[in-house]
Amino acid sequence: MTRVRGRAAAVAALLAAGLLLAACGGGGGGGDDEKAYVEPKGPAQETISIEAKNFSFTPDDISSEPGIVELELVGKGGLHDLVFDDGAYPGFQLEVNGSATDAKKIDLKAGKYTFYCTFPGHRSAGMEGTLTVK
Ligand code: CU
């Protein structure tokens, strides 16, 4: 019995997913619920490079003009990532391990944003910074 019910639930979930996909198919404006990273279309006006090590970002107080920039995380030891707090730029994440580098384009809007490393304990140890866009 539970088996059948489970399958029915799975089918319902698939149907719901299909409906969601169809609903999101329009593209363009609107998609406030989207969590996946979408690369901005157009060239980056500059590259902002941030070093990550145990346990700090350098620089940790950054200014930029609005528009598309390439945000680059340069590993200087350890396993780290960079995301924005307070739901800003959902889906945007850079991650480095050891001396690796990760980079993504981001379309910056005017505002003041906090970024941090999500690995347990890293933020409280100092892996937090501010990006001011104006
Ligand atoms: Cu970290």
Domain assignment present for residue 126? The answer is yes
> 29 C-alpha to center of ligand 1: Å?
33
Per the structure, the complete domain to which residue 89 belongs is given by 47-133
pTM for this prediction: 0.74
Domain assignment present for residue 1? The answer is no
> Which of helix, strand or coil describes residue 47?
strand
C-alpha 23/C-alpha 17 separation (Å) is 10
Domain assignment present for residue 15? The answer is no
Domain assignment present for residue 37? The answer is no
Q: Indicate if the pLDDT at residue 34 is higher than 70.
A: no
Q: Indicate if the pLDDT at residue 120 is higher than 50.
A: yes
Domain assignment present for residue 94? The answer is yes
Domain assignment present for residue 97? The answer is yes
> 129 C-alpha to center of ligand 1: Å?
12
Number of domains the chain is built from? 1
CATH of the domain at 72: 2.60.40.420
Domain assignment present for residue 12? The answer is no
Would you give the distance in Å from CA 47 to the centre of its chain?
Answer: 16
For the chain, the average pLDDT equals 85
Q: How confident is the model over 87-103, as pLDDT tens digits?
A: 999 999 999 999 999 99
Q: Stretch 109-126: mean pLDDT, rounded?
A: 98
Query: Quick count: other Cβ atoms within 10 Å of Cβ 50?
Result: 19
